[in-house]
């Protein structure tokens, strides 16, 4: 099927004209960044990963992270948890208090502080635990669609995605998304799009979304052509490039139009991002501290000089930011060779941190179950 004739992506009752989902990214996909991306394009924009225990305990930071601006007509929240009961309770809060229109379950995070507790990309190895979490979340969500985002597995010797896809489909999820890497790969190497194609062949009654190495709109078109996936999930490719969602909308409508911003246009987007962060945090100082980490991404490939970059990465106020941005060469053109391609840290393969004896069996032992419940009592993070 030609990508230009793809039907709207349906995730339960949610119909997306553009089959694109913004991947949850910690410290990135807050409501400010989601709003900015939406100003350029279309799709489904998911929150940062929310810890279920912290949500159940209603920690102030977590309650702020699940907040949505009134302009966000589709409110999407991603949950992370390792205890089925706690996940169910978190889902109940979102549903009963009308805080979400879509819930995504995280089984893809590869960071050690998550996997060493048996969460994220480590969890699907325990098939009974994975099934229990997904089943209870779907049942408690009722009419609110629940989706699953996962990786191929822990490493090449412990792949889980095909079994997990089948279990999730049987549990009644509205869609599954696969990042074509293992936890051991972290973000290194090349995403395995063949795995996405295999999952699409295994899971046939719900949409399958592909994630990994989508740096520009053409990559998304190629992924769908090569894998048969129903849509794409975009993560690091949009760092410093919120207009990628406009490019994706154009590409999926059959248009060759692409956003090729001058340095002045990039500066305007960066300023808009900072402004939205001030509104989100309700604190200019905190917003300026947050926007600093975006400097390298926004200005990658543009000739602004080391002194200007360092100054932007230490900005303390919007007034100072305006002064720094105003000093840039606004007419400096887009440089595809320097701007396009991989963004964010790729890192290197690493041995996943796992609970003791985690790989001994794909079934959860009583001791491991008790340890998971104890870990759930830690409400740090969001």
Which residues does residue 146 pair with via DSSP β-bridges, in sequence order? 103
Answer yes or no: is 186 a known binding residue.
no
Asked if residue 25 belongs to a known ligand binding site, the reply is yes
Q: How far apart are CA 18 and CA 97, in angstroms?
A: 28
338 marked as binding residue = no
* 267 is annotated as contributing to ligand binding: no
Q: Does 198 show up as a binding residue in the annotation?
A: no
Is 117 flagged in the annotation as binding? no
Other C-beta atoms lying within 10 Å of the C-beta of residue 143: 8
Cite the active site residues: 109
Q: In sequence order, which ranges of the chain are alpha helices (DSSP H)?
A: 31-40, 52-56, 60-65, 84-96, 112-115, 127-141, 161-171, 193-202, 217-227, 244-252, 263-281, 284-291, 295-298, 306-312, 318-326, 336-339, 366-376
Asked whether the beta carbons of 113 and 119 are under 8 A apart, the reply is no
Annotation-wise, does 236 bind a ligand?
yes
Q: Is 235 annotated as a binding residue?
A: yes
The token duo for 88 is 């169910």
- 208-211 and 175-179: which strand pairing? parallel
DSSP tag of 73: S
Enter the tokens of residue 194: 């063949």
Residue 211: strand, helix, or coil: strand
Write the DSSP string, 129-192.
Answer: HHHHHHHHHHHHHTTS-EEEEEESEEETTEE-HHHHHHHHHHHT-SEEEEESS-TTTTT-S---
Numbered residues of the known binding site for FMN: 24-26, 78, 149, 179, 235-236
Numbered residues of the known binding site: 24-26, 78, 149, 179, 235-236
């Amino acid at each position: 099927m030609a990508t230009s004739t793809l039907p709207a992506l349906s995730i339960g009752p949610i119909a997306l004209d553009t089959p694109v989902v913004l991947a949850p990214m910690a410290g990135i996909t807050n409501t400010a960044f989601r709003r900015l991306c939406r100003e350029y394009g279309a799709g489904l924009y998911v929150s940062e990963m929310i810890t279920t225990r912290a949500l159940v305990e209603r920690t102030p930071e977590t309650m702020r992270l699940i907040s949505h601006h009134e302009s966000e007509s589709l409110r999407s929240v991603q949950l992370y948890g390792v205890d089925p009961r706690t996940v169910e309770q978190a889902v109940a809060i979102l549903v009963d208090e009308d805080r979400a229109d879509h819930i995504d379950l995280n089984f893809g995070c590869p960071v050690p502080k998550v996997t060493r507790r048996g969460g994220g990309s480590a969890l699907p190895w325990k098939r009974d635990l994975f099934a229990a979490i997904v089943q209870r979340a779907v049942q408690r969500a009722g009419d609110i669609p629940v989706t699953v985002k996962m990786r191929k597995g822990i490493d090449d010797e412990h792949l889980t995605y095909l079994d997990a896809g089948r279990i999730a489909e049987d549990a009644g999820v509205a869609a599954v998304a696969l990042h074509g890497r293992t936890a051991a790969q972290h973000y290194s190497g090349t995403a395995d799009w063949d795995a996405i194609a295999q999952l699409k062949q295994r899971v046939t009654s719900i949409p399958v979304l592909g994630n990994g190495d989508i740096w520009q709109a053409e990559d998304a078109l190629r992924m769908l052509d090569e894998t048969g996936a129903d849509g794409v999930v975009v993560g690091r490719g949009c760092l410093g490039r919120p207009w990628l969602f406009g490019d994706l909308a154009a590409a999926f409508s059959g248009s060759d139009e692409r956003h090729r911003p001058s340095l002045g246009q990039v500066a305007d987007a960066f300023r808009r991002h900072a402004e939205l962060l001030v509104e989100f945090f309700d604190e200019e100082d905190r917003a300026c501290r947050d926007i600093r980490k975006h400097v390298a991404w926004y200005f990658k490939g543009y000739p602004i000089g080391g002194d200007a970059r360092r100054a932007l990465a230490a900005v303390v106020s919007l007034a100072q930011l305006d002064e720094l941005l105003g000093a840039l060469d606004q007419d400096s053109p887009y440089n595809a060779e320097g701007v396009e391609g991989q963004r964010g840290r790729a890192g290197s393969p690493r041995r996943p941190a796992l609970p003791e004896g985690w790989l001994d069996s794909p079934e959860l032992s009583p001791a491991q179950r008790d340890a998971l419940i104890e870990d759930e009592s830690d409400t740090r993070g969001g």
